[in-house]
A and B are shown apart, each in its own frame.
Chain A
C-alpha cells in the first residue's frame, strides 16, 4: 500500500489534494449544504409568518422590518448554497461523473441520488461494511449453531419455526397471533422474504439492488429515452474496487437498498430500505412498466394518475405496517403490493365496477385502494379488498 501511495502521489502531482481529502471535503460540503438548506427552510417559514402578520390590519412596522431582515438573510443563504453547489459540481459530486473520478485508489466521490440519498465514498463504506458484516455474520453463525444444537438435543421443545396454523406458542411476544397465520419468524432476512413471497404469489418478479445499481437500471429502462441495452447496464459500478478487496471478506459492497417488485404487463413498484442492507422499508412508489428514467425511485412519482394515487395510498399503508414495530413491515408491505396485481381486473368491492369517476380529482380511475388492516398476519391476499378511493370505508 505504501509503494502504491508513493507512486500515485508522484503521478498525481498536479492534483491539489489527495483523493481521501477530496472526498472528505465533498462530504463536509454536503453537510454544509444540508445546514444551509435547513436555514433556508427556517427563513422561508419566518417570511411566511411575517407576511401573515402583515396581512392582519395592525398597522405597525414590525412585520416589514422582519420581512426585510429575513429577505436579506435568505439571499445570503441562497448565495452560500449556490457557491457550495458550484464547488460540489466541480468536484464531481452532483453530476454523474462518478466514473471519471475513479482513477484514484478505487475511491469514488459521494453521489447524491435523485431521491436525495447520499451515497458516501466506497472506501469508507467498504471498511465500515467489512466490520459490520463480520459482526452480523458471527452473530448469525452463533444463532444457527445454537438452534441446531437445541433441535438436536431438545427436540421436544418447539422452537416456533414450524408452527401449524393456530399455534399457541409465542403468545407473549406476538399477542396478535390470534388470527392463526404463520408467525413470521422466518421472514426476517431479505432472501427469506423474497422466497416466501415468490411462493405465495406466482406471477411476481422480485429483484434487489444497491442504490447506485438501481439508479443505473432506472435510467436505462425503456421509456427513459435512453438507447442503452438494459442488460449491459447491470454491471456494478464499483468493479474497480474489487481488486483492492482481494484477501478481505467477500461481502457485497453495494448493500441492498432498493427492492423492485413487478408484475408483467401490470406495474412496477419500487421500495427503498433504510438503512441499506436492512429489512426496514422507508418509502414505496408505483410506476408503469413503460416508464423509465432517473425519476423512477421510491420517492418519485409516476407520470400516470393511477400510479400517483396508488403511491399516495401506499404511503399510508406503509405507516400502518411500520406502526406494528415487530419487524414485519417489509413482508407486509411487499405482500400488500402484490394485491395490486388485480389492479385492472378486480372491481370495487363496494360498487361492483372497475372504473369510477373519482370526486376529488375528477378523474376516471380503477379501484386504487387495497385494504391493509388485516395484514401483516394474514396468510394470503384475499383479505386485501379492492376499493375506489371514493368507495373506501375510511373515506381517505
Chain B
C-alpha cells in the first residue's frame, strides 16, 4: 500500500521557491545628449544597426509597466510607506507579473491574475501605465530587443530601451565580459549613424535585492525598475497624478 511506502521515506523539506533559470540579460536605455530629445527615429536606426551586424528580425515584442500608488485616506499619517511601487509584465513570462519596491530592494514574482485582485481591492491604483513596443532580433547566440517606451493613451515616446540576452550562459559573472564586449560592438556599429545620445547600462547590485548570480526573470524586473528611474530622471519629469 502506497501510504506505507511514503511513511517510510524521510520527509523532505519543502522545495525552495522556484526561480527559473534563464539566459543572462542586460537592459539598457537610451540616454539622449544634453538638449536632445528621444524620438522614434532612434528606434529605426537601432533596428537597422542590428541588421548591419547580421541580426535577423524575429518579430515584435511588447511589455507593460505600471506605477502604483497607495490609495490612503490620509497620506501624512503614513510617511514611511513606499511611494514607488512598480508592477511589470515581461514578454518572456506571459503568465507572471513582477512587483518591485525599489526603495526597499524587494522584488516578487506573482501570477499574472493578481492584477485582477489589485483592480478589485483598489488599495493600490495604477497612476502611470507604460507600453514597451518594438522588435526582436537574433544575432547568433545573442538576442536583442529594442523598443520605445510609450504611455498608454498617448503617442509621445518617453524613451527607448534595449534588452541584450546571451543565450548560452545563465551566470551573470561568467557572462560579464561577453556582454561588455557586445555592448562595445553595438556602440561602434551605432556610432556610424551619428545619433545624439547613447545606450547606457544601469549598474546595479542584484545582491541587495536578494538575487543570486544565476539569472532569473526577477533580475529583469529589477533592471527595468532601475532603468525607469534613470529614464524619468534624465528626461522630462513625469507629472505625478
9 A-B pairs closest in CB distance: A363-B140, A265-B171, A362-B54, A355-B181, A304-B168, A288-B168, A265-B174, A305-B140, A354-B181
B185 touches A363 (CB 8 A): no
Which one of A306, A345, A355 lies within 8 Å of B168 (CB-CB)?
A306
- Contact status A345-B177, CB under 8 Å: yes
Other-chain contact of B140, A345, A354, A361 (Cβ < 8 Å): A361
Partner of A365, one of B140, B171, B174: B140
Residues 237 to 291 of chain A near chain B (Cβ within 8 Å):
265-267, 288-290
**For residues 81 through 105 of chain B, which have their beta carbon under 8 Å from a beta carbon of chain A?**
none
Taking a contact as CB atoms under 8 Å apart, the answer to whether B173 and A265 are in contact is yes
Within the complex, what minimum Cβ distance (angstroms) separates A203 from chain B?
A: 12
Specify which chain B residues have a CB less than 8 angstroms from the CB of A354 in the assembled complex: 177-178, 181
Residues of the B chain whose Cβ atoms lie less than 8 Å from the Cβ of A180 = none
**Chain B residues whose CB sits within 8 angstroms of the CB of A307 once the complex forms:** 168
B227 to chain A, nearest CB (A): 24
Q: CB distance B142 to A364 under 8 Å?
A: yes
The answer to whether A304 and B185 touch (CB under 8 A), given A344-B178, A363-B141, A364-B53, is no
Contacting pair B182 A355 (CB below 8 A)? yes
Query: Could you list some 6 contacts between A and B, CB below 8 A?
Result: A267-B168, A288-B167, A290-B23, A304-B167, A353-B181, A355-B178
A306 to B23, alpha carbons, bound, how many Å?
A: 14
Segment 191-234 of B: residues with Cβ below 8 Å from A? 213
Interface: B64 (CB within 8 A): no
Q: Which of A287-307 contact B (CB under 8 A)?
A: 288-290, 302, 304-307
**In the assembly, what is the distance between CA of A353 and CA of B53, in Å?**
17
B21 contacts chain A at the CB level, 8 A cutoff: yes
Interface residues of A in 303-326 (CB under 8 A from B): 304-307
Residues of chain B within 8 A of A222, CB atoms compared: 21
Contacts of A129 in B (CB 8 A): none
Contacts of B181 in A (CB 8 A): 353-355
Bound Cα distance from A222 to B22, whole angstroms:
11
Cα A103 to Cα B219 in complex, Å, equals 50
**A366 part of interface (Cβ distance < 8 Å):** yes
By the criterion CB–CB under 8 Å, are A364 and B169 in contact?
A: no
- Please indicate the chain B residues that have their CB under 8 angstroms from the CB of A362 in the complex: 54, 140
Bound complex: CA of A354 vs CA of B178, how far in Å? 7
Q: Cβ of A141: which chain B residues have Cβ within 8 Å of it?
A: none
Instruction: Give A339-363 as 1s and 0s: 1 = Cβ < 8 Å from B's Cβ atoms.
Output: 0000011000000011101000111
Q: Is the CB of A363 within 8 A of B21?
A: no
Distance of A266 Cα from B213 Cα, bound (Å): 13
Task: Given A357-B53, A364-B53, check contact A265 B21 (CB 8 Å).
Answer: no
B182 & A364 in contact (Cβ 8 Å cutoff): yes
Residues of A within 8 A of B175 (CB): 344
User: With an 8 A cutoff between CB atoms, is B139 at the interface?
Assistant: yes
Residues 358-384 of chain A, each 1 if its beta carbon lies under 8 Å from chain B, else 0: 000111111000000000000000000
CB distance from B3 to the nearest CB of A (A): 20
- Complex Cα–Cα for A371 and B198 (A): 38
Q: Say whether B48 faces chain A, with CB atoms less than 8 Å apart.
A: no
The interface residues of chain B lying within 8 Å CB-to-CB of A306 are 140-141, 168
Q: Complex Cα distance A289/B169, Å?
A: 8
Mark each residue of chain B from 1 to 32: 1 if its CB lies under 8 Å from any CB of chain A, else 0.
Answer: 00000000000000000000101000000000
A372 CB to closest chain B CB, in angstroms? 22
Contact of A363 among B54, B168, B169 (CB under 8 A): B54
